[in-house]
A and B are shown apart, each in its own frame.
Chain A
Amino acid sequence: MKILLDGHRRGASRGAAALLGVLGCLTVLAGGASAAPPLQLPAIADSATMEHHPGKIVWADLVTPDLETAERFYGGLFGWTFQDIRAGDSEYAIATVGGHPVAGIFKKAIPAGEHRQPAWLTFIAVRDVEQARREALSHGAKSLAPPKTYAGRGGQAVFTDPQGAVFAALASSSGDGSDYLAGPGEWIWSSLLTDDPSGSAAFYKAVFGYEVFDLPSDDGAQHVILAADDYARAGIHTLPPGHRHPHWINFVRVADASRSAAQAASLGGRILVEPHADRHGGQVAVVADPMGAPIGLMEWSDQYTQDEAELK
């Protein structure tokens, strides 16, 4: 079968035909994309405070190949409940605790034959995601996904920092939520484990405007605090021996890290770091969910922080 074309010059006709082929394919591609309904994501803040706290860790999304198993695991471990959101082939669930949105879980199949690691993605608040993208790229980040706006949530984009850790920037359309002490089942802390803490600190300071503090250390590793609004927002730590690549890890507040770690194992997860005392006086542990995504557990006695809040 052949397509018949009229024209004065054979070369011009071939070019026109090729252009038609390209445009046709792009049209098909665009048509396929537009056929899927857009994903509607709720606001990250349960009340639209419109407070903005650039540099605050405001959200986390898990990507997993098994949404039902993930919901069973995190529901059993933290008491999260879920609201499923579907659009076309996309399956996404919003986790809530105490009626407050706390996290998202996104279902995505792992391509056959590929060895990949499910992970939680850390979202850092920005006022303008396009500006954050420009700043990040100009300081050595790479773009994994360009800015995209979701009705209800806001604009978000995903990057790797200069050391290779993946993170996201989020300009929330409902604000970033007020600063308060995380309750049980809520995110209380985030840490970046990296092979160059000083370099990473310089990058995040440049992009998000953090104040950077060195912490005293007796373990041979460097520990840095990123602060904004006069609050500690995240830590940066030397990647321990044996870790393969830099990454963020987020911690959920629990009443008893040992009990929660054991519960994680009974729910099909496994313990990656045994519970042990941390600098704040409580226990921390790291567990993996049944699909292998790591998540931190952290105890926090709120007596001291409440005293401090009253003095602020």
Chain B
Amino acid sequence: MRIQFPLWRAVLIGGASLSIVAGCAVGPGYGYGGDVGYVGGYYEPSGYDYGGWGGRYRVGPPRGVGHEGGHDSRAGHPAGGGHPMGGGRSAPSIPGRPRR
């Protein structure tokens, strides 16, 4: 028995498959870079608005002696204020050793 299968059907099915595969490579809402072979490039979905940082809104790390928190690092720990959730010692600061 001999049957005929139109080329357009194969193309249609193949195209749908490509769409599915391509759709899997893109994260929802993000312009993700996986399609060009690099895992790391992305665009945020919308613009930033940096209003609202009041003068007391502080994002930096704590530091030790003489600054906020008042804990003296010379007591054995570089404290910069704060406490672990549940109590205990103070928050550490960033590394201070200069590059050699």
Contacts and interface: CB of A to CB of B under 8 A. Distances in A.
B60 A298 contact: yes
Interface of B is mostly: loop
Contact of A3 (B10, B30, B31, B78): B10
Given A108-B36, A243-B48, A278-B60, A63 B82 contact: no
Interface stretch (A70-78, A215-223, A261-269): A215-223
Contact of A106 (B30, B33, B53, B76): B33
Interface string A274-312: 001011111010101000101010101010111111011
Contacts of B17: 21-22, 25-26
A191 B94 CA distance: 13
Contacts of A298: 60
A126 interface: no
Contact of A24 (B14, B28, B93, B96): B14
B46 A308 contact: no
A212 B84 contact: yes
Contacts of B93: 231-232, 305, 308
Interface string B10-35: 11011101100100000110111110
Category for how many chain B residues contact A:
35 or more
Contact of B61 (A24, A108, A280): A280
Contacts of B36: 89-90, 108
B30 A166 contact: yes
Most chain A beta carbons < 10 A, residue from B27, B40, B62, B69: B40
Contact of A189 (B40, B44, B60, B97): B60
A54 interface: no
A217 to B, nearest CB: 8
Interface string A224-258: 01010011100101001111110101010000000
Interface of B: 1-7, 9-11, 13-15, 17-18, 21, 27-28, 30-34, 36-69, 73-74, 76, 78, 80-85, 90-100
